[in-house]
Amino acid sequence: MILGGGPAGLAAAFALAGRGISVVLFERSGYRDFRVGEHLPPGGIPLLGKSGLSGLADGKVHKKCTGVDAWWGGEVANHMDYLFHPIGFGLNLSRPRFDASLARACTSAGVQLLTNARLRTATRSGASWMARVESRESVAEYRADVIVDATGRSAAFARSQGSSIRAADCQVALIALRSSEEQLDERSGRVLIESIEHGWWYFAPLCGRRCVGMFMTDGDLLKRTAGNAYAAWGQGLQCTRYARERIAQYPRLAHFAVRGARSQRLSRFCGDGWIATGDAALSFDPLSSQGIAKGLEEGGQAAHAVGAYLGGDGSALEKLAGRFATSFADYEQTRLGYYALERRWPNAPFWRRRQSAAPLIA
């Protein structure tokens, strides 16, 4: 049983079905909701093939991206050009269409997928779980040998089993999906990153004359800003030079949301007959650009561990949990190094907090 139908949960379901293991997946939405995360670097493209979605790389639905331009640590841009990568391009995904496509691949592979569904209760009985799930105004019971928590940053099931979330910061993302009626020359699809005194900005053009503009800052700093969240987004944009120019090409606001964007991990990644994966297990700063690729990869890893566990390897889930812990420790050092590059605002709380290692807090 898999809880959560984002990239991690869907990748796990697809891989398990490919092993001939019966899978039921419950997704709270109907794949029409607003979803955060769109950039897939070149290294993530091969993961699409493993998930049966290599056709998505044709650029008809998702915009090809030739690289990233970052004004970070100084006034001169750093250019990362994907031309020099063996794949040659990344993708700016149109969400949630990407997730819906992956969901269709899962159902074609034999996964039983229920949308608009949520777990009510789950009780461990012997070597299996008995779960009550509400779906489309009805409640049904399901038996499962293993539960995979892929519920994203909320880690809802893992927390119900006594695990807790440990966070490294209080970063939030103010996200505007905007559009233009004009035909824009965004053939390169390049992503832009720009740091400012109170955080940093992210811009990515999408198919359909749309873009995403995100302002990353700390939640407590946001509270000090006059006005509502969208007003704070606009005030932050005025502090930029390059992001403001790009986002101005998309004058119409289609959607606005505020989402948690902090670095976090679970205190415990697995237990008796369950394991968390994807953002439910460990969530990285959006600066890493690893959200989608990380979800696909960790979903596949969870599927491998569950298959081994069901095959008699009682330590398989714990082994993967150990790799997750190592992955987060490595990520913390990498994150510290990237934030240490920006020294223009040494007294600004946002940057000061990220330029020294700090213990995780519950």
Taking residues 278-301, report their average pLDDT.
94
Which pLDDT score is estimated for 224? 63
CA-atom Rg of the chain in angstroms: 21
Q: What is the DSSP letter of 267?
A: S
Residue among 237, 239, 240 nearest 253 (CA): 237
Least reliable range by pLDDT among 31-40, 47-56, 349-358:
47-56
Q: How far apart are CA 19 and CA 162, in angstroms?
A: 30
Domain residue spans of the chain:
2-37+95-167+264-333
Taking residues 7-24, report their average pLDDT.
96
Q: What average pLDDT is seen over the chain?
A: 92
Which pLDDT score is estimated for 19? 95
Which pLDDT score is estimated for 67? 95
Higher-confidence residue: 20 or 55? 20
Q: How far apart are CA 98 and CA 53, in angstroms?
A: 9
- Are β-strands 264-266 and 282-283 bridged in parallel, bridged antiparallel, or unpaired? antiparallel
- Sheet with 199-206, strands from edge to edge, namely 78-81, 67-71, 191-196, 199-206, 210-218, 171-179, 252-260
| CATH architecture for the domain at 2-37+95-167+264-333 | 3-Layer(bba) Sandwich (3.50)
Q: How far apart are CA 221 and CA 207, in angstroms?
A: 33
Whether the per-residue pLDDT at 240 is higher than 70: the answer is yes
336-350: buried (b, 16+ CB within 10 Å) or exposed (e) per residue? eeebeebeeeeeeeb
Taking residues 271-299, report their average pLDDT.
95
Q: Give per-residue pLDDT as tens, 327-341.
A: 999 999 999 999 999
Whether the per-residue pLDDT at 246 is higher than 70: the answer is yes
Whether the per-residue pLDDT at 226 is higher than 60: the answer is no
Which pLDDT score is estimated for 206? 93
Q: Give per-residue pLDDT as tens, 198-220.
A: 999 999 999 989 999 999 999 99
What is each CA distance from 289 to 44, 182, 241, in whole angstroms? 10, 28, 22
Which pLDDT score is estimated for 47? 85
Element (DSSP H or E) covering residue 232: helix 229-238
Q: Give per-residue pLDDT as tens, 137-184.
A: 789 999 999 999 999 999 999 999 999 999 999 999 999 999 999 887
Q: Say how many Å lie between the first and final Cα of the chain, rounded.
A: 28
Taking residues 58-74, report their average pLDDT.
89
Cβ pair 193, 287 in contact under 8 A? yes
Which pLDDT score is estimated for 238? 96
Which pLDDT score is estimated for 227? 62
Which pLDDT score is estimated for 58? 65
Which pLDDT score is estimated for 332? 94
Which pLDDT score is estimated for 290? 84
Which pLDDT score is estimated for 222? 84
Taking residues 77-100, report their average pLDDT.
91
